[in-house]
Amino acid sequence: MITTIDNYDLSSRNTFAMKVKCGAFMEYTKADDIPFLLSTIRKDVEKFHIGAGSNLLFTRDFPGVVLHSAIKGFEIICKNPQEVIVRVGSGETMDDFIRWACDRELWGIENLSGIPGEVGASAVQNVGAYGTEACDAIVAVHAFDEVEREFVTFSKEDCRYAYRDSIFKKSDAKKRYIIHAVDYALTPLHSPNLSYPALKKAFEGKDVDSLSPNDIRAAVIATRDSKLPNPAVTPSAGSFFKNPVISEEHFKEICEKEGSDTAVPHYKVDSGYKIPAAWLIDKCGWKGYKEGNVAVWHLQPLVIVNPDRQALPEEVIGLEKKIIQSVNDRFNITLTPEVEHI
Ligand X SMILES: Cc1cc2nc3c(=O)[nH]c(=O)nc-3n(C[C@H](O)[C@H](O)[C@H](O)COP(=O)(O)OP(=O)(O)OC[C@H]3O[C@@H](n4cnc5c(N)ncnc54)[C@H](O)[C@@H]3O)c2cc1C
Binding site for ligand X (CB under 6 A): 15, 49-56, 69, 90, 115-118, 120-122, 124-125, 127-129, 164, 168, 177-179, 228-229, 231, 236-238, 340
In the complex, what is the shortest distance from the CB of residue 337 to ligand X, in angstroms, rounded to a whole number?
12
In the complex, what is the shortest distance from the CB of residue 77 to ligand X, in angstroms, rounded to a whole number?
19
CA 15 centroid distance within chain: 12
Residue whose CB is less far from ligand X, 315 or 338: 338
Residue whose CB is less far from ligand X, 55 or 243: 55
Instruction: Output b/e per residue, 184-210; b: 16+ Cβ within 10 A.
Output: bbbbeeeebbbebeebeebeeeeeeee
Angle value at C-alpha 341, between 340 and 342, nearest 5 degrees = 115
d(CA 113, CA 244): 25
Residue whose CB is less far from ligand X, 176 or 252: 176
Half-sphere exposure of 337 (CA within 13 A, CB side): 18
DSSP 49: E
Q: Beta strand 128-129 with 132-133: parallel, antiparallel or unpaired? A: antiparallel
Out of 13, 87, 164, 217, the active site residue is: 164
C-beta nearest to ligand X: residue: 51
In the complex, what is the shortest distance from the CB of residue 222 to ligand X, in angstroms, rounded to a whole number?
14
Known active-site residue 338: yes
Residue whose CB is less far from ligand X, 237 or 254: 237
In the complex, what is the shortest distance from the CB of residue 254 to ligand X, in angstroms, rounded to a whole number?
26
d(CA 113, CA 93): 11
Known active-site residue 239: yes
Residue 245 makes CB contacts below 8 A (sequence gap 6+) with 269, 271, 272, 273, 274, 275
Residue whose CB is less far from ligand X, 123 or 246: 123
d(CA 142, CA 206): 40
Dihedral through CA 234, CA 54, CA 297, CA 134, nearest 10?
130
Known active-site residue 99: no
In the complex, what is the shortest distance from the CB of residue 205 to ligand X, in angstroms, rounded to a whole number?
26
Residues labelled as active-site residues:
164, 239, 338
